[in-house]
Structure 1
C-alpha cells in the first residue's frame, strides 16, 4: 500500500518536470515564425514598398466615347446642302468622386463667368439647386414635421421637403438662374461622360474668363460643338429633316431601339426624313478615350484610343440651283393665285421633277398654307405625304389600260361621245357642251379631256349592263379592275422613294352600307374624280409614259461616301442603281396612241385642247392637265352646310416630247373654279425652261 503511493508521486514529478520543456519548444517555434514574418515584412517594405504604394494608388480606367461630326449632304454638283458649323462650347466631365457639394460649388463658380440666356430653369430645377446647398438642405430637413420623420419613410420625407421649398416661391437672380441650369446639367451627367454646359451664343469674353479660371473648376473645359447648317438655302429642309438637340436626346418613342444599338440618352439623332432614314450612316463612329482615375476618384489622365470616324456623306440627286429656282417659281406663281382670289381657300401647292429614265428626283418643292391666316410655309415633303383627287391628269393611265387589256386597239378605239345617264343622278358628261362631238378616238379623247370616253371605256372594260336613265349594273370586281390598272403606273400605292412617311393615297368607298357596288363612283374613278394620289405618284406615272413603259422607283440619294479631312473631296463607296419596278406590257403602237394624245393636249389644233398656252415652250412639252371637283373643309366647322365648291388643278408632263429628260407634276389644290386660270401651266413652263437653262449641254 505504501509502495503504491510512492509510485504515484514519482510519476507526478516526472510529468511536472516535462511541462516546461514542451512550453519552451512551442515558444521557440512561435519566436522563429514571428522573426521570419518580421523579416519578410521588412524585406517587402524595403524591396517592394514603392511598388506596392503605386499599386494602392494605381488608377482605375474606363473607356468613354464622344460624338463625331454628322455626315454632310451634297447636291448632285457637289454643293453642300447640309453641313456642320463648328462652334465653341463649355464642357464638363464628371469624375467618379464628384459629390453634390462639388456640383453646387462648380455651378456657382461657373455662373460668374457665363450666362445662359436661351433657357429658363423650371420650378423643379430651382428647388433642386436650392437644396444642393448643404445648409439649406439641413434646414429644410429639420423643418419636416416629427410625425413624418417618425415614419422613417425617405419618400415621404423628401416629398415634404420639396413641398416646403415649393411654398417659398423662390426668386432667383439672372446669375442664380444660370447656376440652377448648370447644376441641373452637370448633376444629371453620367460619370466620366462629357456634356455641353453652354454651346450656343458663347462669347469670346466668356471663353476667356472660363479659361483663366479652369484650375478652380474641376471637370470644366473648353471644347467645340457642331450644328447643322444650310449654306444653299433651307427650301429643301423639310425633305432633309432635322436632328435632335443634346438636351432632347433620344426620341422617347424609339428609346429602347437606340439604347440597344449603342447610343447614349443624350446623343443627337435624326428625327425625321433623310436625317432619320440614313441615321446609321450619318451618325458616324464615336471617338473613344481611356480615362484613368486615381483611387480617390479624380481624373488623372485622358488618352485618345480612337479618334472616331465622321458620318458618311450623302450625295443627293437634286441640283441646289435648280431646287432654288423651282421653289422660287412655285412661291411667285402661288402668290399671284392668292392675289387674284383664285387661291383664297387653297391650303398649298406642290411641284416635283424627276428624271424619267432613272427615277432620280431633280427638284421637290411644296407650300403649305393656312387659308384663315394666309400664312405659308415651305413643305416639300407634301409631295410624298399629301394626297389629292387629281382629275383628268390620270386619263393617260386609263387609256393605257384599255389598250393593254385589248378593250380597245390602236386601230379600233372610237367611242360614241354620248353622256351617261344614271337613274336619280345628274347627267355625267364632259366639260364641253353635249353634242360637241359625235364620237372620239382615244388620242382625241385625251386631247379634249373627254370624261365621257373614259366612262364608256370603263363600262366596256368591266362588262357593265347599262340602260340610260333606267339602270346600270357592274360586277363587284369593277373597282378592283380599274384600280389594279392605275396601280400598274404607281397610282394609289407607295412609290418606294427613299424617304420615310410616304403615304399610298386615299381610296374612296367601293360599296354602300347595303353592300352594293357604287357604280357611279366607278365611272368617277375612270376619269380621275374619285381616288386621291400624291404628287410623287403622279410624276412616276407620267415618267412611265415618257420612258416607254418602265415604272422607275423614285430616289433622292444618289450615292454614299466619305468626305476628305479638308472637306474638298468625297470618296464614293456606293452608287444607287436605277430600279425598274414594273414593265408596262405595251406594244409600240399602243404606247403611240397615248403619246399622241399627250402631244396634242399641248400642241393640237382642237379648240377644246387644254394646254395650248405652253405649246411654244422649247424644248417641246407633252402632258395632260386635270381639274377635280372638291370642297373647302373648315377644321373649325367640320359640319358646315354648303361649303364653297373648289377644284384641284393639276398638270403632268415631260420634255422633250421625243426623248424626255425631265418629267414634272404640279398640283394646285383648292382653287376657285371660276378663277382657276393657268397656274399649273405657268409652273410647268418655268420648271422645264429653268432646267434646260442649267443643262444646256
Structure 2
C-alpha cells in the first residue's frame, strides 16, 4: 500500500511531458500562411504581369550552330615524308554584329569601326596594297545581310600578321564582337609534284553547281543532326584529283560556334566554340623523285620537237598496280590559282580527254595507239587459232583491202619477206596484222561477231573500259571500230595495226602491265594508305586483280620475244627489257598528225615496272616518247631498284668511300 501511495504522489507532482505549446503552434501556422501567400502572389504576378514578356523572350530566342571549316588532312608522297598538299594554319579577323545596322542611323557606327580597322591594318602593313581599306571592310561586314544572316561572323581579313594578332588580342575589350580565329589555307608542294593527280580545292559555295557530289550534300544539309557533317559555304573542298576522290577522308569534321540569337537574327549572349577536327592523311603511291624526273623528261623532249606541245607518261608497278609516276605536261602552279592561266592544262591528260588549247590546233591527249597494239593483235590471232607461233607470212610491204585493190603499206613501205608473228611485232608489219588478224577474224566469225570478238579482247586488256583508278573523271576511250559507217573489213583491218581506237595513257600502261605479268589486269592505285591524325593506319590499299585472261604460255613468250625493236635512247641500259614503239597517224594531207607512242616493261624475265608514254604530234615514238621512258626507268632503278636493289644508295656509298 505504501508503494501504491508513493506512485500516486509522484504522478501528481511530476510536470506534464510532450505537450505542445499553443503559442508556438499558432506562430508556425501564421508563418506558413505568410510564405504561402507570398508564393501565390508571385506566381500570379509572373503569370499575369510578366508572362507575356517572358513568353516573347522564350519564343524569340534560338540557338544557332555556325559551322567552322575542318582541318583538311595532308597528302604525302610514297615515302610518307614529303607533303604534296597540306593545310597551313592562319589567323583571321572576324566581326560579329550585335546590333542591326540596316538602319541608316546606325551605319555610321559600323563606318567608324571600319575606319579604325583600316587604320590598324595600314599601321602594321603600310605597303600592302592587298589589305582591305575602310570601304572594302564595310562591304565585308555585309550590313544589309545580302550574303548571310546577322548572327554569322563576318570575315574582314585573313592571314593576319603577328603584330596584328597581338594588337587585337590586347585590345579585345575595346572591340566588342571582333574575334581572331584560326583557319587553314590549302598549300601545295612548291616544286609542283603531280599537280593534276593531287588536284585542287575551291570554295564549297561554287561546288554544287559543278559537281553532283556536292549538290547532294547541299540538298541533305537541312536533315543533318550532326554539326560536324555540315559544310560551310566558304569551306574549301576537293574539285579534282585526289582532293576530290578522297574528299570524305581528307575533310575531317566541322567545328562550330554555338550562339543564342534573338528574333532579329542577331547574337544574344556569348559564343561557345567547338573546334574542328583534322581529316585523315593520304600516303600516295607517287614518288616525288621519280615524278620530278618524269615531268622534266617530258618538258625536255617538248623543247626539241617542232609541233608537240603536250606529253604524258604513266609508270606502274607490275605486281602491285601502284602508280609511281603520272605526268601530264605542261602543268601549273596550284598555289597561284588563276583559271584563265591554267584552263588548258589543269586536267590530267593521262586519263582524260583534254585538248591543249581552245583553238584545237593540236591533238587531244587521247590518241590512236599505232603499232603498240601489235603485241595484242598477235595474242588475239594466236588465241583465236588464226595462225600458229611457227607459221610464216610473206610480207611484201603492203596488204590489199577490198575488191578495188586498195593498198595499205608498212611504214616506209618496208619489205620484210617471210616472217613469223614474232618478227611481225619486231618489224612492226602492218600487212601481217591486216592479212593474218583483221581479215582472218572477219572470215572466221563474220562482220558483227568479228567486231564483237575484237572488242571483247580489247576490253579484257583494259582498252575501252575503266582502269579502276582512284581518280575522278576517267575517259574510257573512243572505239572507232564500232562505227558502222565503214565496212567491217576496213574497221578490223585498221584496228589490227592500231588505227581504230583512241585510248588514254593510263589505259595503255595497264595494258602494258598485263603484257608483263602475262594476263593479270591490275587495278592502278594512286593511294596506298590512309592514316588518322595520330599517324595510325586506318586503311591499307591492297593490290587488286580486276580480271585475268587465259592464254597459253607459248603465246606470251612469242609476243615477248617480238618486243625487241631497237631503240637508241636505251643504249647502255643495264637490263634486258621488252618494248614496242608506235606512231599513230590522224588526218591526211596538211592536217596529218603523227603521234609518238611507246610502251615497255623491265626487266624482261622478272618484270617490275611498266611504262607508257604518249607525245601527241611527237612523230615517231622511238624518237619522241622512248627517251622519256628511259629516264623514268633509270629514276626507278635509283630509288627502288629494278632488281630490288636501289642504285642510288649504291652510288651514295661509293661517294662516301
User: What TM-score range do you get, normalising by the shorter chain?
Assistant: 0.7 to 0.9
Task: Name the CA distance, whole Å, in 2 between partners of 1:549 and 1:541.
Answer: 9
Contact 1:476/1:517 (8 A) holds in 2: no
Q: Which residue does 2:426 correspond to in 1?
A: 447
Task: Name the CA distance, whole Å, in 2 between partners of 1:506 and 1:119.
Answer: 50
Q: Which residue does 2:491 correspond to in 1?
A: 521
Task: Name the CA distance, whole Å, in 2 between partners of 1:90 and 1:492.
Answer: 52
Q: Closer, same or farther in 2 for the Cα pair 1:275/1:190, shift >3 Å?
A: farther
Q: Which residue does 1:348 correspond to in 2?
A: 310
2:116 to 102, 112, 117: 112
Deviation at 1:355, TM superposition (A): 0.6
Residues 35-44 or 386-395, more deviating: 35-44
Task: Name the CA distance, whole Å, in 2 between partners of 1:425 and 1:82.
Answer: 59
Task: Name the CA distance, whole Å, in 2 between partners of 1:77 and 1:264.
Answer: 33
Q: Which residue does 1:560 correspond to in 2?
A: 530
In structure 2, the residue corresponding to 1:687 is in which secondary structure? helix
Deviation at 1:224, TM superposition (A): 1.9
Deviation at 1:368, TM superposition (A): 4.6
2:90 to 67, 87, 92: 87
Aligned length: 560
Q: How does 1:34-113 map to 2 (within 5 A)?
A: 39-40=38-39, 61-78=63-80, 79-94=82-97, 98-101=100-103, 105-106=109-110, 108-113=112-117
Q: Closer, same or farther in 2 for the Cα pair 1:488/1:60, shift >3 Å?
A: closer
Deviation at 1:586, TM superposition (A): 1.4
In structure 1, the residue corresponding to 2:513 is in which secondary structure? helix
Contact 2:101/2:144 (8 A) holds in 1: no
Q: Which residue does 2:632 correspond to in 1?
A: 687
Deviation at 1:295, TM superposition (A): 9.4
Task: Name the CA distance, whole Å, in 1 between partners of 2:90 and 2:145.
Answer: 20
In structure 1, the residue corresponding to 2:116 is in which secondary structure? coil
Indicate yes or no: 2:624 matched with 1:624: no
Contact 1:407/1:460 (8 A) holds in 2: no
Task: Name the CA distance, whole Å, in 1 between partners of 2:209 and 2:347.
Answer: 23
Task: Name the CA distance, whole Å, in 1 between partners of 2:348 and 2:188.
Answer: 17
Q: How does 1:107-506 map to 2 (within 5 A)?
A: 108-114=112-118, 118=130, 175-183=134-142, 188-200=147-159, 202-204=160-162, 206-208=164-166, 210-211=168-169, 214-231=172-189, 233-245=191-203, 248=206, 251=209, 254=212, 256-259=215-218, 260-261=220-221, 262-292=230-260, 298-304=267-273, 306-337=274-305, 341=306, 344=307, 346-368=308-330, 381-386=348-353, 387-410=366-389, 412-418=390-396, 419-422=398-401, 423-424=403-404, 426-433=406-413, 436-464=415-443, 475-506=447-478
Q: Closer, same or farther in 2 for the Cα pair 1:652/1:213, shift >3 Å?
A: same
Task: Name the CA distance, whole Å, in 2 between partners of 1:63 and 1:426.
Answer: 75
Task: Name the CA distance, whole Å, in 2 between partners of 1:541 and 1:98.
Answer: 65
Q: Which residue does 1:582 correspond to in 2?
A: 547
In structure 2, the residue corresponding to 1:563 is in which secondary structure? coil
- CA deviations 1:229-258 (Å, max 9, x no partner) are 123622312122111137757546546412
- CA deviations 1:59-101 (Å, max 9, x no partner) are 8544443222111111110121110111121123455x64424
Q: Closer, same or farther in 2 for the Cα pair 1:380/1:659, shift >3 Å?
A: farther
Contact 2:259/2:271 (8 A) holds in 1: yes
Contact 2:84/2:198 (8 A) holds in 1: no
Deviation at 1:550, TM superposition (A): 0.3
In structure 1, the residue corresponding to 2:606 is in which secondary structure? coil
Task: Name the CA distance, whole Å, in 2 between partners of 1:585 and 1:233.
Answer: 44
- CA deviations 1:164-207 (Å, max 9, x no partner) are xxxxxxxxxx532442243369753335444532215x444544
Contact 1:242/1:270 (8 A) holds in 2: yes
Q: Closer, same or farther in 2 for the Cα pair 1:579/1:557, shift >3 Å?
A: same
Deviation at 1:405, TM superposition (A): 2.2
In structure 1, the residue corresponding to 2:238 is in which secondary structure? coil
Q: Closer, same or farther in 2 for the Cα pair 1:231/1:175, shift >3 Å?
A: same
User: What TM-score do the two structures reach when normalised by structure 1?
Assistant: 0.72
Contact 1:367/1:379 (8 A) holds in 2: no
Indicate yes or no: 2:530 matched with 1:530: no
Task: Name the CA distance, whole Å, in 2 between partners of 1:180 and 1:191.
Answer: 14
Q: Closer, same or farther in 2 for the Cα pair 1:620/1:193, shift >3 Å?
A: farther
Deviation at 1:382, TM superposition (A): 0.3
Task: Name the CA distance, whole Å, in 1 between partners of 2:248 and 2:393.
Answer: 56
Task: Name the CA distance, whole Å, in 2 between partners of 1:366 and 1:539.
Answer: 14
Q: Which residue does 1:4 correspond to in 2?
A: none
Task: Name the CA distance, whole Å, in 2 between partners of 1:247 and 1:541.
Answer: 40
Task: Name the CA distance, whole Å, in 2 between partners of 1:85 and 1:274.
Answer: 18
Deviation at 1:400, TM superposition (A): 1.2
User: What TM-score do the two structures reach when normalised by structure 2?
Assistant: 0.76
Deviation at 1:383, TM superposition (A): 0.2
Task: Name the CA distance, whole Å, in 2 between partners of 1:545 and 1:503.
Answer: 22
Task: Name the CA distance, whole Å, in 1 between partners of 2:640 and 2:108.
Answer: 62
Q: How does 1:5-16 map to 2 (within 5 A)?
A: none
Task: Name the CA distance, whole Å, in 2 between partners of 1:91 and 1:249.
Answer: 24
- CA deviations 1:114-171 (Å, max 9, x no partner) are 4695599xxxxxxxxxxxxxxxxxxxxxxxxxxxxxxxxxxxxxxxxxxxxxxxxxxx
Q: Closer, same or farther in 2 for the Cα pair 1:512/1:460, shift >3 Å?
A: closer
Task: Name the CA distance, whole Å, in 1 between partners of 2:447 and 2:42.
Answer: 104
Task: Name the CA distance, whole Å, in 2 between partners of 1:400 and 1:103.
Answer: 79
Unaligned runs of 5+ residues in structure 2 are 1-33, 122-127, 222-229, 333-340, 354-365, 646-657
Q: Over the residues paired in the alignment, what is the CA RMSD in angstroms?
A: 3.7
Q: Which residue does 1:605 correspond to in 2?
A: none
Task: Name the CA distance, whole Å, in 2 between partners of 1:375 and 1:425.
Answer: 49
In structure 2, the residue corresponding to 1:100 is in which secondary structure? coil
1:592 to 548, 551, 557: 557
In structure 2, the residue corresponding to 1:427 is in which secondary structure? strand
Deviation at 1:409, TM superposition (A): 3.0
Q: Which residue does 1:548 correspond to in 2?
A: 518
Deviation at 1:300, TM superposition (A): 2.5
Deviation at 1:523, TM superposition (A): 0.8
Q: Which residue does 1:161 correspond to in 2?
A: none
Task: Name the CA distance, whole Å, in 1 between partners of 2:551 and 2:262.
Answer: 77
Deviation at 1:621, TM superposition (A): 2.2
Unaligned runs of 5+ residues in structure 1 are 1-34, 121-173, 466-472, 565-569, 603-610, 633-641
Deviation at 1:475, TM superposition (A): 1.9
Task: Name the CA distance, whole Å, in 1 between partners of 2:343 and 2:426.
Answer: 35
